[in-house]
Amino acid sequence: MAERKQVPIKKDRSPLQDLNKDRSLPQKPDEADDETRAPSKSGPEVIKSYLKTLSSSPGVYRMFDKDGTVLYVGKACNLKNRVQNYTRLNGHSNRIARMITATTAMEFVVTNTESEALLLEATYIKKMKPRYNVLLRDDKSFPSILIRTEHEAAQIVKHRGKRKQKGHYFGPFASAGAVNRTVNTLQQLFLLRDCTDSQYESRTRPCLQYQIKRCSAPCCGKISIEDYQHLMNDAKNFLEGKSTTIQKDLRSQMMKASKAQRYEEAAHLRDRIAALTQVQSHQSILPTGFEEGDVFAVHMQGGSACIEVFFIRTSQNWGNRAFFPRIDKSHTLSEILESFIAQFYDNKPVPRQVLTSVTLENQDLLAEALSTKSDRKITVLCPKRGTKADLMKQAVNNAKQALARKLAEGTAQNRHLQALVPIFDLPHRPQRIEVYDNSHIQGSSALGAMIVAGQDGFVKNQYRKFNFKPEDLTAGDDFEMMRLMLRRRLKALVRDFGDKRPSPDSAEDGKSEGGPTELVPELVPELANGIPHWPDLLLIDGGKGQLSAVKEIVDELGLTDITLVAISKGPDRNAGREQFHMIGRPSFSLDMNDPALYFLQRLRDESHRFVIGGHRLRRKKAMAKNPLDDIPGIGAARKRALLAHFGAAKAVSRAGLKDLQAVDGISGQMAEIIYDYFHNKE
């Protein structure tokens, strides 16, 4: 393989860096410079007008519709030649022909190399979510394990996001559950602490983790820092795949303790060996030869695609994850996988090897772009035989099964959505359902929440929480909480998206004789990303009072065409006897065996789960909050000294200046700051 040349990216002019600056964000056609402003036409004629000033350099182009919405983002090694392909309608798929016809303006960014254009294209696609691109829907980062070495006693934690903290990172793992299980195992095996630095500094005696043999308590001197460092090194070696050596060391220590008649210590070492053996039996150990890499397998069926990703680190399978990108049936497997991988690694570290189930058209270009991003050589290949090919077969089989399950779930979901049409007199099958609920304890820690469901199930990246200030509502007033929550939500919709709710008139082709219409994504712009911005149905957890409160807000904003339904528990709060309340209709219930009732119960229960979880977290933070944390100049050491001297923060707030000065580490000036803080606050 030819030696790869580093891409000369100028730090002060890189398009990838400039993308994060406001001045370089993509302009809408009416904001573009005069040189790139397109005439008030659309289609091939508009695109042809750009050829006069285009160069043959590599770069990225963007296509806009009449509303200034980005239709498509593409890269090219020769911008002029690529754009020239769009100056005619024949010879393209129906998808591309529709895109060309809708184009009213284009914008271009010239790059130094095609690999830089590939990275910039992926960044633009993730930022703008164009309708005609392959789009990675689930874009959150993967969790990993971090052994923090900033502190003398290393801390083991679950980490997600950028790797800014000093320490050893291990991952990615496919799910947070896999990380939690591994962290629990590491605590059991190596007795590492997971408490925060402030908790560590304020401890005066061992916590419960020490009592249940999950921590060696370095905070209280139960183990020396040197011995604790040895435990940390063992944990590091374990995560690097050297578990066999650790097991031998533990067995040797157990035998020595047993011979010395330290039977309790020997029993504890025996339990650690058993836990380590259990972990090894559950890990998928791969044959030698493939230590680090990600495996991408793609399968396409019925206009949908699934990409299964396996994470291989230290010759171990650290989990797999299925993705369902937004595609068009005209896309090839190579196009889908290439675009997906470029977007996938936009905010994630790249392993040394990337394996694909199909040979990519621009395989060498993708490898060069990923190498440039990682500052090390990255290999992209499609294995044909050997260990890697066997692993790829397993990944492809997983992708097929995951897509089959997804299609089956989607069919069932559509049946459930269609069943709501006659029940609530909806004009068409709902594409977006929003469910609202709130939670509080006698008005304290009040929290509202919204969940969203669509044709693909729950859309968790669009869930929202609503915090309420105590002064904004009367304690325990559920009606006012619902009113405030819906006012904020609907006002934001009107502000951000205007009154552009999809209507049955937008989907003439989706009508069926004698039945409700069904919105067609190609005809409704809001459905381009799979789900509209505006809800078709609002479900409110509550009764007629909550429904009336929401109706006031809807009427106030003039949004009279949104269907409102309140769902309340039936007599004796029995599941299956729920009552449904609608404006202008008497309350009614559904048959206990009706599948639509089970579906609505799932929606209601999901809103309960989300809001109660948020409320508990908020209450937990409020309970753990200490007034001393807000005083400037009070760190962990002074806080520990104050609590040790007075016993509680409340006693500190009542103390006089002389009493405060008697505490070790509290000077006269600091005593005045503490005294003034509490008395001014009161």
Q: What is the pLDDT of residues 241-277, one digit of tens each?
A: 666 677 777 788 888 888 888 887 788 778 777 766 6
pLDDT confidence of residue 178 = 74
My answer on whether 610 and 635 are in the same domain is no
Provide the token pair at 205. Answer: 């005696």
My answer on whether 633 and 675 are in the same domain is yes
Cβ pair 557, 549 in contact under 8 A: no
- According to DSSP, residue 557 is labeled T
Cβ pair 549, 474 in contact under 8 A: no
My answer on whether 472 and 518 are in the same domain is yes
pTM: 0.61
**Domain residue limits at 502:** 427-621
Q: Is residue 19 part of a domain?
A: yes
pLDDT confidence of residue 663 = 87
Quote the radius of gyration of the chain (alpha carbons, Å).
Answer: 30
My answer on whether 374 and 435 are in the same domain is no
Amino acid at 423: I
C-alpha 266/C-alpha 257 separation (Å) is: 5
Q: Is residue 139 part of a domain?
A: no
Q: Is residue 417 part of a domain?
A: no
Q: Is residue 136 part of a domain?
A: no
> Which strand (E) or helix (H) includes residue 394?
helix 387-424
**CATH at 432:** 3.30.420.340
My answer on whether 454 and 602 are in the same domain is yes
Count CA atoms closer than 13 A to 341's CA, side-chain side: 34
My answer on whether 124 and 153 are in the same domain is no
Q: Is residue 401 part of a domain?
A: yes
pLDDT confidence of residue 682 = 44
| DSSP states of 216-265 | --GGGTSS-HHHHHHHHHHHHHHHTT-HHHHHHHHHHHHHHHHHTT-HHH
**CATH at 378:** 3.30.420.10
Amino acid at 466: F
Q: What is the pLDDT of residues 380-410, one digit of tens each?
A: 999 988 888 888 988 899 899 888 888 887 7
Q: Which of 433, 632, 653, 637 is nearest to 538 (CA)?
A: 433
My answer on whether 592 and 482 are in the same domain is yes
pLDDT confidence of residue 354 = 92
* pLDDT less than 50: residues of the chain: 1-39, 282, 284-285, 287, 503-529, 682
| DSSP states of 166-202 | SEEEE---S-HHHHHHHHHHHHHHH--B-S-HHHHHH
C-alpha 490/C-alpha 540 separation (Å) is: 14
C-alpha 179/C-alpha 147 separation (Å) is: 13
pLDDT confidence of residue 538 = 93
Helical axes 263-282 vs 176-190, angle rounded to 10°: 150
pLDDT confidence of residue 499 = 61
C-alpha 665/C-alpha 593 separation (Å) is: 69
Bridge partners of residue 451, in order along the sequence: 435
Query: What is the bridge-based pairing of β-strands 433-441 and 537-541?
Result: parallel
